[in-house]
Each structure stands twice: as structure tokens, then as C-alpha cells.
Chains A and B, each alone.
Chain A
Amino acid sequence: MSLTLTCPICGERNGYEFRYGGEDKGPRPDRAGLTPEQWCDYVHMNSCVAGVQKEWWFHRDGCGAWFTTHRDTRTGLETDGPDSAAQK
């Protein structure tokens, strides 16, 4: 309930306006040479870091943008980025 996220279009909003889109895993892999294990890892495996992670969020109840943000999973607070764990 209390999570806030900063939408690049709409600014800081309540977390319940957004849908979580998972960790940032990069573009979809090419089909060529892809093993089932690699594919499964891409789709289903997560790093689950206790710390700062880059993640996707969708501003469902607002402008409809998909965007990435850095969040410290220990505090639930957005941070500046992986190099700076300082809270905003």
C-alpha cells in the first residue's frame, strides 16, 4: 500500500497504480542455438537480490508507460541506481 514509484511521465505515485513487470532481464534471446534450459532461465528464473535491482513497472492506472526503476528490495524504496544505494 505504501510503496511509491516514480513514473517518468507522471512523477511519484502510489505503488498500487502500477503492475510489476519483473526484473530487467534484457531483450528476448535469439532462437538460434537456444537450449530449453536457457529459455526456461530467461522466462522463469530471477536473481531475487537483497539489495538494489533494476526492474520493470507498468503505470496501469495512469499513462500506460512501461519503465524501469531501481529499487532497494530490502527497504522497498526507489534508489538512484546500482552504484548509489542512497535513498532518494
Chain B
Amino acid sequence: MNMLQRQSPVRFSARPVKTEVRDGWTVVLEYAAQGDGLHLIDLSHRAKWDLQDGDLSRFDIAGTPIPSAPNTCTLKNGTAVCRRNRTQALIWHLAGDPPELPEDPALTDVTEASLLAALTGPNIYDVMEKICSLDLKDPAKTTPRLIQGPALHVPCLIMDLGRMGDRDVVLIACSRGYGRDMTEGLLHAGAEWNMAPAGETAFTRLFDI
């Protein structure tokens, strides 16, 4: 056994049928019997950066400036950039190969700090309604958008990507330590709609549609 393997905070009991080793991570691309219904997808291995600076307007990440209003996002070339507050933004590299972390002290690589999971497919907003009182069903919403608030009593960063291809997509990030309880809680809440763990491809393919 090659000992130098990285580990995700998530453990799914489903059987992986297709995997890929990437930068030390064994990324599951597909699980057995994942189907095409409601999916829960572990993206914890995806690169995540924290950006903090007194003047965020000087930055240009993934070819776009940082959005000026808090909790608004851009999604371009597989990278989501969201404004968190006056001085802070988050950058999640969701698809494709992540770029090198630029040599700027304003940026911190926080990939390791959190669980990142995607909920895709039908009923994802019904699942969210069971685990938080944040208004993900707001008919006036524009996506993508960021919601900073608690789900299952744990502080989360919830990114509502809205409709991507044929599916609704919501990303949830929380402290890595909560990773197992959070994914188990999500699966429990989604059981009535047969939520199933799915591999990374089920998510990244949405960027190609």
C-alpha cells in the first residue's frame, strides 16, 4: 500500500467504481448505483482560497474582478468567486485543473480547512429546507449567490449555483471536522428522495453542458 495518500473528511459507504489519483487524493469519479437522481458529491479535494485585503478591487481572479456586493458570486471557467464582506472573498476552483496559488499574502490556501460538498438534482431545495431556515427557495433570488449561515446548527458557506444544465446545484462548505456528520445529516435528510453519493464526474460534467 502506498502510504502517502491524502484523505477526505468524508466517508461514503457506497462502492467506488471509477477513481483517479490526483495530487495525493484518491478522487472517486463514480460510485456504484449512484443513479441520476438526487446526488451528494464530495468536492473537499477541490482547491479553495481565502482572499482578504483592505482593497479587494485590486484583484482579478479567474479573469473577473471580485464582485462588489456581499454574497454575490461569479462562476467562470470552473472557478467561483464570491464576496463575503468588505474585505474578504472566497475562491473555489470547482472544475478543471486549479492554478498555482499566486504569491500574494492576501491569499491563503484553505483547501484543507473545510468540507466541500455538492447537492445536485431534483429536491435539493427541499433537502435544504429540512436542515436550515435559510431561504434557499426565495423566488426573488439570483444565482449564483452565497449564503453565510447555519445548516444542521453548523456555520456553513452555502453557494447556490441555481440551474446548471439539467440540474439544480447547491454547494455546502463547513469546517472539515464536521465533514462526516454533515454529509451523514444531508444523506439522512435526503433519504426520502433517495439521495445517493455520487462521484466527482457527476458534478464536473455540469460545466460541460
Interface residues of A (CB under 8 A from B): 9-10, 13-14, 17, 59-65
**Docked complex Cα distance between A14 and B153 (Å):** 12
B70 — which chain A residues lie within 8 A by C-beta? 9-10, 63
**Chain B interface size range:** 10 to 19
- B150 contacts A17, C-beta separation under 8 Å: yes
- B149 contacts A13, C-beta separation under 8 Å: yes
Tell whether B155 is near chain A: CB-to-CB under 8 Å.
Answer: yes
Interface secondary structure of A, over-half rule: loop
Nearest CB in chain A to that of B133: its residue: A14
Q: Would you give the 0/1 interface string for B17-50, flagging 1 where the beta carbon is closer than 8 Å to chain A?
A: 0000000000000000000000000000000000
**Docked complex Cα distance between A63 and B149 (Å):** 7
Known pairs A9-B84, A9-B148 / 10 extra A-B pairs, C-beta < 8 Å: A9-B85, A10-B147, A10-B148, A10-B149, A17-B150, A59-B148, A61-B155, A62-B150, A62-B155, A63-B148
**A61-B155, A62-B155, A63-B70 known; A17 vs B149 contact (CB < 8 Å):** yes
Query: What are 22 A-B pairs with beta-carbon distances under 8 A?
Result: A9-B70, A9-B84, A9-B85, A9-B148, A10-B70, A10-B71, A10-B147, A10-B149, A13-B149, A14-B133, A59-B148, A60-B155, A61-B149, A61-B150, A61-B155, A62-B148, A62-B150, A63-B70, A63-B84, A63-B85, A64-B85, A64-B148
**Docked complex Cα distance between A12 and B123 (Å):** 25
A64 — which chain B residues lie within 8 A by C-beta? 85, 148
**Docked complex Cα distance between A14 and B150 (Å):** 10
A62 — which chain B residues lie within 8 A by C-beta? 148-150, 155
A65 — which chain B residues lie within 8 A by C-beta? 85
**Docked complex Cα distance between A14 and B151 (Å):** 12
B149 — which chain A residues lie within 8 A by C-beta? 10, 13, 17, 61-62
**Docked complex Cα distance between A63 and B155 (Å):** 9
The 7 closest A-B pairs by CB, nearest first: A61-B150, A62-B148, A63-B148, A61-B155, A9-B70, A62-B149, A9-B85
**Docked complex Cα distance between A27 and B84 (Å):** 26
Q: Would you give the 0/1 interface string for B139-177, flagging 1 where the beta carbon is closer than 8 Å to chain A?
A: 000000001111000010000000000000000000000
Q: Would you give the 0/1 interface string for B63-87, flagging 1 where the beta carbon is closer than 8 Å to chain A?
A: 0000000110000000000001100
**Docked complex Cα distance between A63 and B71 (Å):** 9
A61 — which chain B residues lie within 8 A by C-beta? 149-150, 155
**Docked complex Cα distance between A14 and B85 (Å):** 19
